[in-house]
Chains A and B, each alone.
Chain A
Amino acid sequence: MAGMAPEPGVDGGGKAGLGYRRLIGPLLVPTWVMIGIFLVLPVLLMAVYSFLTKEFRGGVVWDFTLAAYDQFFLNRGLFGDEPPVIEWTYITIFWRSIWQAAVATLICLAVGFPTAWFIATRPPKSRAIWLFLITVPYWVNLLIRTVSLKFLIRDNGPLNESLMAIGLISDPLPLVNTNLAVQLGLFYSYLPFMVLPIYAAVERYNFALSEAAADLYASRWVTLREIVLPVVKPGIIAGCILVFVPSLGAFLAPDLLGGAKTFMIGSLIDEQFRGSQGNWPFGAAAAMILMTLVLIVLMIYARAQTKAEAR
């Protein structure tokens, strides 16, 4: 029940609590080291690289320049001597990626919310089984799962074959290399990230609130809209962020399941770091722009959240 019983606080007094607090510093050292080496350092490296000059066989020359960002946003003609106009190629790819990620998030939400609700309202014993089943696909590597998905939906794959066998269609459905296939891939990859946080929120939800709403003349629909959704909102938002952010940068699903028309940021960046065709500073700049975009979205959310809480 919200706010009723005092939470067992971190600084909830007692000698045990004090002892733990003294230990927390040393215990956090590995975390800080990991974050430092594997997050902060690479991001800094990437930021520096994005301002360097491209080496022709891949790699960089230590000459600081804004060329990578210039290339991303501006078009100065084939030889670089025309007055600059806005370069739409990469912005379009970004826009398409945002759009794809948003649609994938909505689909995951539409499927994930009922799933999470279903699991959270089972008896405690069977909840564990359902949660286990949700995580089973994660025992297999994402690449292998994406490739198998491609095999499933290709022209002479089991899906098309069986649809033709039962006479529902006469020609195979062109599924591979479409937006639909990319969506399917993203949905399949990230659905659990939507289900788990919503499950956690619904599991904590006090169903007496729904009874109270019904008791005060709210219909089921109004109860869902006015009580349930606002109360489990943190879980929904966490799920949306956890699906949207990796979908935005995803390159496996778009690469393997999509075609030229579904080229996304992840693939664009990936390409810049492959072999001699690559352009490291440009890839780094694109990655920095993507990261800035994500951070802006998260900051807007965080501000909206603190405003709502301050109310």
Chain B
Amino acid sequence: MRRMSTAIEIRSAVKRYGTTTALHSISLEIADNEFFTLLGPSGCGKTTLLRCIAGFEDLNDGEIRLFGRDIARLDPNHRPVNTVFQQYALFPHMTVLENVAFGLKMKGMGLADRTARAGKMLEMVHLSAFADRMPAQLSGGQQQRVALARALAPEPKVLLLDEPLSALDLKLRQAMRVELKMLQEQTGITFVFVTHDQEEALTMSDRIAVMSQGRVQQVGTARDIYEVPVNRFVADFIGETNLLEVTVDAVSGAAAKVTLPGGQKITCPVAQGVMPGKHHLSIRPERISLAAKGELDAVVDRIVYLGTDLQILTHLTTGEPFHIRIQNSARIVLPAPGDRVALQIEVGAARLLAD
């Protein structure tokens, strides 16, 4: 981020459909030049929020400010933002070039100018050779890039992307992630990206807002939300984790004394506002190692071979299921199913959650 000015500021945005509330008073700030991702499971409100920014849905309450100006009551054609749609929504009766030039035409740019600019946009997405094709004659990945070029052509201040990669196959999706991120850096346009795919979110985003049930659960960098999840939902949704119910004996500052199932006591970092009592502890499977002596005792159930990794599924002697991920290597001596093992938690890797 070169400048830290705010591109989009959402204040207490509320959206209701009949009796169901899709957005519960959402407040967010998205910085200029930022690649910002709204991440969450389907039905969490991420697409609704994006559609409210684009203007396809009206907020019931709240404000959406674009560089300081409230746009929440404007029609979509008066908002200087453009959208890449999930199914691309290319105009089927227009050529690729006409599609890309459409926004420029609507803005009143003359034929020669808009043709030249649309041509440049197609060059940028490597589709110059397809300018005169109809959208139906293109592959999914090519249509995707046309949609991108079309949305970028009018030089929007903010580009909204609604799960643009979800219709592509895995290889193409991975290639497009890199391409999208590079495009965002080249153009310096603020990207607001909606996805349910955490890998997509983690690889591309400057910051991520994790959403669930119409609420923003946590906003932070990929590292923040993975390493310091604020609650059970975030810990569980982002990556894999083991959630253990534990008893917090005492809290002093940012550390807590915790009794693990099985009776061992450890000290671990704690989020603000955690009081002594029953809580959940999140331990990432790759932050555990098998050792001669450890904080937890477990019995191996099975071992799953994943290529670069090995997943060891166990259950604690107190009954809770627990899984571990270790890197595959020739030196590993693997336990067999039925073996008793001791699990050692990396220092600082256990994270006490607020709820």
Contacts and interface: CB of A to CB of B under 8 A. Distances in A.
Interface string B27-56: 000000000000000000000000000111
B103 A216 contact: yes
B103 A209 contact: no
A10 interface: no
Nearest to A207: B89
A227 B81 CA distance: 20
Given A211-B76, A215-B83, A217-B77, A1 B154 contact: no
B106 interface: yes
B277 to A, nearest CB: 49
A34 interface: no
A208 interface: yes
Interface residues of A, number: 21
B82 A215 contact: yes
Given A1-B88, A2-B135, A211-B85, A216 B106 contact: yes
A91 B81 CA distance: 59
A166 interface: no
Nearest to A218: B106
Nearest to B87: A1
Given A3-B135, A4-B143, A219 B77 contact: yes
B93 A231 contact: yes
B85 A208 contact: yes
B262 interface: no
Interface string B54-91: 11100000000000000000011110011101011111
B107 interface: yes
Contacts of A216: 77, 82, 102-103, 106, 150-151, 154
Interface string B129-152: 000001111101001000000110
Contacts of A217: 77-78, 103, 106-107, 154
B88 A4 contact: yes
A4 B56 CA distance: 23
Contact of A212 (B89, B136, B143): B89
Interface in A200-221: 206, 208-209, 211-219
Contacts of B137: 3
Given A2-B136, A3-B136, A219-B77, A214 B82 contact: no
Contacts of B87: 1, 4, 206, 208
Task: Report whether over half of chain A's contact residues are helix, strand or loop; otherwise say mixed.
Answer: helix
Contacts of A206: 87, 89
Contacts of B88: 1, 4
B92 interface: yes
A113 B200 CA distance: 44
Interface in B103-119: 103, 106-107
Best-buried of A214, A215, A218, A231 by chain B (most CB within 10 Å): A215
Contacts of B91: 209, 212-213, 227, 231
Interface band, chain B = 20 to 34
A163 interface: no
A217 B114 CA distance: 15
Contacts of A231: 91-93
B336 interface: no
A222 interface: yes
B56 A211 contact: yes
A214 B77 contact: yes
A80 interface: no
Nearest to A227: B91
Contacts of A212: 83, 85, 89-91
B155 to A, nearest CB: 12
Best-buried of B54, B76, B89, B143 by chain A (most CB within 10 Å): B89
Contacts of B76: 211, 214-215
B167 interface: yes
A13 interface: no
A215 B54 contact: yes
Interface in B192-219: none
A227 B94 CA distance: 9
27 contacts: A2-B90, A2-B136, A3-B143, A4-B87, A206-B87, A206-B89, A209-B92, A211-B76, A212-B85, A213-B91, A214-B55, A214-B76, A214-B77, A215-B55, A215-B56, A215-B76, A215-B77, A215-B81, A216-B102, A216-B151, A217-B77, A217-B106, A217-B154, A218-B77, A219-B77, A226-B102, A231-B92
Interface of B: 54-56, 75-78, 81-83, 85, 87-93, 102-103, 106-107, 134-138, 140, 143, 150-151, 154, 167
